Structure formats: C-alpha cells, structure tokens
Amino acid sequence: SWTSDNIIDMRIAQLKKQIGDKQVLLGLSGGVDSSVVAALLHKAIGDQLTCVFVDTGLLRLHEGDQVMQVFAENMGVKVIRVDAEELFLTALAGESDPEAKRKIIGKTFIDVFAESARQVSEQGDGKVVEFLAQGTIYPDVIESAKSQQGKAHVIKSHHNVGGLPDDLAFKLVEPLRDLFKDEVRKLGITLGLPAKMINRHPFPGPGLGVRILGEVTKEFADILRSADAIFMEELEKSGWYEKTAQAFAVFQPIKSVGVVGDGRRYAWVIALRAVETVDFMTARFAHLPYDLIEIVSNRIMNEIAEVSRVTYDVSSKPPATIEWE
Ligand code: XMP
C-alpha cells in the first residue's frame, strides 16, 4: 500500500543499488521536486551527492539563503552555491524580447551548470561523477511526450538540465519519475523537509527574468524582489497563499505620476498576479479580498520609493497566460 515510509525505504534501496559507490550531481533549484530528490538522495547515499545551486540573480528575496539554510546547514547536504548574477545580467543586457530572454537565461544556466559539473567531476578525489539526478515527475514525462508530438508547450524548459555538452554525458537518476505532485509532497514531508518548502507555489525556470517586462536590469530586479516579498508576506499572513495556486508581482517598465507629501513622484508600476488553477492549463484570477489588495498596495507604495502605482491583474487563462511574458 502507498505510504510515504514504504516508498522511501523502497526508493532508497533502489538508489543504493543503482548508484553503488559512484558520485551523483544534482541541480538544486529550491523548488519542490529537486528538493525532494536532494533529501531522498542524501538519505540514500549521503556524501556521494553534490548539489549545485545556481543563483541567477533572478530569484526571489532570500531564496538562495533559504536553500543553503535548509540543505547545507540543517541537513548537511553538500551544496555548491554559484553566484552567477552578474553573468546573467550581462547576458541579458539590452534584450527585451521574451523568447530571446528565455533562450539567453536557459543557455546561461546550462553554461554555468556545466562549468560546475566539470569542477565537481575533477575535484572528486579521483571519484568520477557518473550520475546526474533530476526532479522529473510523472506529469513532466507526459508533458514532454506530448510536446514531442507538437501538442503542448514545454513547461519545464530548463529546470531539467537537458542539453548538457557531450563531455558531460551522465547517466540519469530520476527517482520521482512515476509520482504525481501530491505524492512527491508527501514524500518531502516524511523526509523532514519544511512544510513551507513543500507547499511552495511553482516558480518558472527563467524566474524574475520573465516577470520584469522588457529589459532586465539589477535595479528592476531589486524593486521587483521587494514588492514580491511584501505580496508573499501578506498572502501568507492572511491565509491566501495556500488558497491560490500561484501568485507573484510583475515589474512594469512604465512610469506613472504619484504624490508624496508636497511633491510629485514619477516612478514605476507594479502589477500583482494571483491565480486559482489545478492544472495550470486554464486558470482564474484569484478573487482576493479588496482589503488584502489594499494592504499590499499601500505597503508597496510606502515602502518602495521607486514605485508609485500598483495594479491587480484581473485576466484569466485563456486568453491570458499566467505569466506576463
Ligand atoms: P503560462 O504563463 O504559460 O504558465 O500560463 C503556466 C505555468 O508554467 C510556468 N512557466 C514556466 N516554467 N519555464 C518554466 O520552468 C518557463 O519558461 C515557464 N513559463 C511559464 C508558469 O509559472 C506557470 O506555472
């Protein structure tokens, strides 16, 4: 029968058998799936696991620190944190086309990941890294089968590190490949991961890169991070985080006039987006209480001097998409 304890014991036995004394590399994003893979592999093979966490500079506020705290500090998992903010921002400079931005972010991610994979392979005390672990879950398997027939868009375009150069030909370890999201979540809880991490909304691979409309700059990313953090904090406090499937702030590169004290302020616009959905293929804009929207909007305009206006996105999918780019 399906209990998390059974499943965990069985998977651990399988993983030990599959991996033996070899080294395994895992790209840790901080999302639910790769986090559960990290916890499971750590339990199965301990120090033979090395995780690479790429800080793209396009993550949410304190995201990198939280990942390091949970995995490196609390659980003792070997995690290499790569600070690649400058690399990503430089690569993105001057580009405002959404698809081009996605491609740049995906390619830079592969480059950075490949570089640390090489370093890990070379340092491993002569022990060769033979396996690459991935947080592929059953819906990803179906989704990519469909997209190969041209039917569906690829949701996890670069979370899963396909497209590595030929000199890094790893064997794959995908211990969640036959599991649904709710099963993965149960495993994560049983493995002792924090509930907050397990119940997180999905976060797209390109991160804030597709939530800053047009050109991505550090200034815009910092403003967006602050606004987004306020929105998340108030959603959690009010109990609305768990009532929505995904919620975030979006940076609008347009200026609007406001008034502060005696003066006028000409500053940026932030949009708030929250949706209810089960499958992410269709979605309804979340009917957040006006009182909550009011608190969030006042806090953003009062606490972030660079923002003079906040809007709430009332578009459902279709015809709108969940993300703005
Ligand atoms: P859309 O905007 O297409 O989003 O309605 C549906 C779901 O997919 C996520 N999303 C992405 N995830 N790479 C990702 O890993 C991407 O390029 C990407 N684009 C959208 C989005 O956050 C939502 O959960």
**173 confidence band (pLDDT: 50, 70, 90):** very high
Q: Which of 17, 324, 18 minimizes the C-alpha distance to 170?
A: 18
Can you give the length of the chain in residues? 325
- Residues 86-110 have a mean pLDDT of 97
Answer whether residue 256 shows pLDDT above 80: yes
Q: What is the pLDDT of residues 58-92, one digit of tens each?
A: 999 999 999 999 999 999 999 999 999 999 999 99
Mean pLDDT of the chain: 93
205 lines ligand 1 (CB under 6 A): yes
How much is the ipTM here? 0.99
**125 confidence band (pLDDT: 50, 70, 90):** low
Q: Which residue of 59, 154, 155, 157 sits with most ligand 1 atoms within 8 Å of its CB, as the best mutation to test the pocket?
A: 155
Our CA dihedral for 97, 202, 235, 308, rounded to 10 degrees, sits at -10
The CA distance from 107 to 285, in Å, is 32
In our burial notation (b when 16+ CB lie closer than 10 A, e otherwise), range 306-324 reads: bbbbbeebeebbeeeebeb
Q: Which residues are annotated as a binding site for ATP?
A: 29-35
**CATH number among 3.40.50.300, 3.30.300.10, 3.40.50.2000, 3.30.420.140, domain 211-312:** 3.30.300.10
Question: Closest ligand 1 atom, CA of 246?
Answer: 24
156 lines ligand 1 (CB under 6 A): yes
- Residues 15-30 have a mean pLDDT of 96
For the chain, give percent helix, strand, coil, nearest 5. 45, 20, 35
101 lines ligand 1 (CB under 6 A): no
202 lines ligand 1 (CB under 6 A): yes
323 lines ligand 1 (CB under 6 A): yes
Tokens at residue 153, please? 């868009």
What integer pLDDT is reported at residue 161 of this predicted model?
Answer: 66
What integer pLDDT is reported at residue 269 of this predicted model?
Answer: 98
Answer whether residue 13 shows pLDDT above 70: yes
Dist. CA 156 → ligand 1 center (Å)? 7
The pTM is what? 0.93
- Residues 80-109 have a mean pLDDT of 97
What integer pLDDT is reported at residue 313 of this predicted model?
Answer: 98
What integer pLDDT is reported at residue 144 of this predicted model?
Answer: 79
Residue 142 in 3-state DSSP?
A: helix
**1 confidence band (pLDDT: 50, 70, 90):** low
The CA distance from 19 to 133, in Å, is 11
What integer pLDDT is reported at residue 121 of this predicted model?
Answer: 82
Among left, alpha and beta (phi > 0; psi -120 to 50; other), residue 10 is: alpha
**166 confidence band (pLDDT: 50, 70, 90):** confident
Ordered by start, the domain boundaries in the chain are 4-198, 211-312
Answer whether residue 156 shows pLDDT above 50: no
Q: What is the pLDDT of residues 135-147, one digit of tens each?
A: 999 998 988 787 7
Answer whether residue 231 shows pLDDT above 50: yes
The CA distance from 241 to 316, in Å, is 18
**CATH number among 1.10.3210.10, 3.40.50.620, 3.40.50.720, 3.90.1150.10, domain 4-198:** 3.40.50.620
The CA distance from 293 to 305, in Å, is 19
Q: Which of 33, 6, 5 minimizes the C-alpha distance to 185?
A: 33
What integer pLDDT is reported at residue 75 of this predicted model?
Answer: 96
What integer pLDDT is reported at residue 152 of this predicted model?
Answer: 38
